[in-house]
Amino acid sequence: MFQIDRRFFQNISWSLILLTFILTAFGLMEIFSATYTYNSFLYFKKQLIWWGISICGMIFFMCFNYQILKEYAYILYALTLILLVLVLIIGKKSMGAQRWLNLGFINFQPSELLKLTTIVIIAKYFDEIQENRSFTLIELLKPVIMVLIPVLLVIKQPDLGSGLLILFVAVSMFLFVGIKKSTFIKILIFSVIFIPFSWHFLKDYQKKRILTFIFPERDPLGAGYHIIQSKIAIGSGKIFGKGYLKGTQNKLAFLPEHHTDFIFSVIGEELGLIGCLLLIFVFFLFLVNGLNIAKNSKDSFGSLLVVGIMFLFFWQFFINIGMVIGLLPVVGIPLPFISYGGTSLFISYCLVGLVLNVNMRRFLF
């Protein structure tokens, strides 16, 4: 399982590690700024501890042969399904949602594991086919069903944000592999027809979020408060920002969830457009590094694994910024490496470890 060779360390992507550390350091800096007025170093210290734990997770995922994931993909899938079912039966409830399993020392969220499982299952399926061609709807039926079953369990919790995120990643991987034009048109037509009907399956608070996204001013002190204050914060930062630790929307607590889902608003207010563009540029370099590793991989499973992980990071980043600036509904997706949250940071570092793993072992194939 664990193979250590000096050539592994010669193929470590230090640039990807450096970019990951820069993004995390940027997040720590903004977490401190978002919370120092009322919690001193509490959140900063917790996130710093999680950073250390996350680095250990990254090193672990770098060291084992990633082909093990392909070998045990269906076992991993079955385990994930069991955990998702257990969440619905004995899961911990919080703020109207039942998404966590209480393991005593930590609350574990199986939907986080599903992100990895989805990528592994799709990568395994197309790796086994080993054909460089476009796929039909029938050929996509098996991976689509395998993705939809756990996604529906996640939406049942309810966690619409994570469910949609996993669907976006799966669809992106299908498009990357290649599907026939007729298949794409059929999926598009089905989506257009299904979307209006899906409204009836949404929870009341989910419907409210979508209506608030379209008309945020309809409830400025209720459901629309988050997005209105977020826009005010980002707009007030203008080009160069108000300065680090000088954001008034943040400091005076007008901005809710400012250290978690809405931390990009703090960046916009304090560092302005320049700071936001700098963050986006660093993240762009991060994605380019990852895609270069996928391109240079010598086996299709490793390549698809990295592509899926990069799509996951991309969609998290895109959805979070989109909801913060009012282009997308608020769905509770954190900004990877930046938002406060130990589980999110740990999973992100484990995924980076897998990407580094593929790069380190490319000479074996």
- Which tens digit of pLDDT belongs to each residue from 82-129? 999 999 888 777 666 778 787 776 777 888 889 999 999 999 998 888
Residues in contact with 150: Cβ distance below 8 Å, sequence separation at least 6, in sequence order: 77, 80, 81, 84, 114, 117, 118, 166
Among 17-21, 241-245, 250-254, 285-289, which is the least confidently predicted range? 250-254
Q: pLDDT tens across 323-361, in order? A: 888 888 877 789 999 998 888 899 999 999 999 999 988
pLDDT (average), residues 167-175: 91
pLDDT at residue 34, rounded to an integer: 82
Cα separation of 147 and 165, whole Å?
A: 12
Most confident of 33-37, 127-131, 210-214, 264-268: 264-268
Q: pLDDT tens across 301-313, in order? A: 999 999 999 999 9
pLDDT at residue 365, rounded to an integer: 52
pLDDT at residue 213, rounded to an integer: 60
User: Which position has the token pair 């919370």?
Assistant: 35
Dihedral pair phi/psi, residue 65, rounded to 5°: -70, 115
pLDDT at residue 6, rounded to an integer: 60
Dihedral pair phi/psi, residue 259, rounded to 5°: -105, -5
Cα separation of 313 and 305, whole Å?
A: 13
Cα separation of 16 and 152, whole Å?
A: 34
Q: Which of 311, 319, 308, 341 is nearest to 161 (CA)?
A: 319
- Does the structure show a pLDDT above 60 at 130? yes
What tokens does 56 get? 């250990």
pLDDT at residue 59, rounded to an integer: 94
Give the 3-state secondary structure of residue 130: coil
Cα separation of 114 and 225, whole Å?
A: 31
Domain coordinates of the chain in residue numbers? 6-364
pTM: predicted TM-score of the whole model, two decimal places:
0.89
pLDDT at residue 128, rounded to an integer: 84
Cα separation of 90 and 101, whole Å?
A: 7
Q: Give CA angle at 219 (213, 223), nearest 5°.
A: 60
- Does the structure show a pLDDT above 60 at 148? yes
pLDDT (average), residues 26-55: 86
pLDDT at residue 225, rounded to an integer: 67
pLDDT at residue 108, rounded to an integer: 78
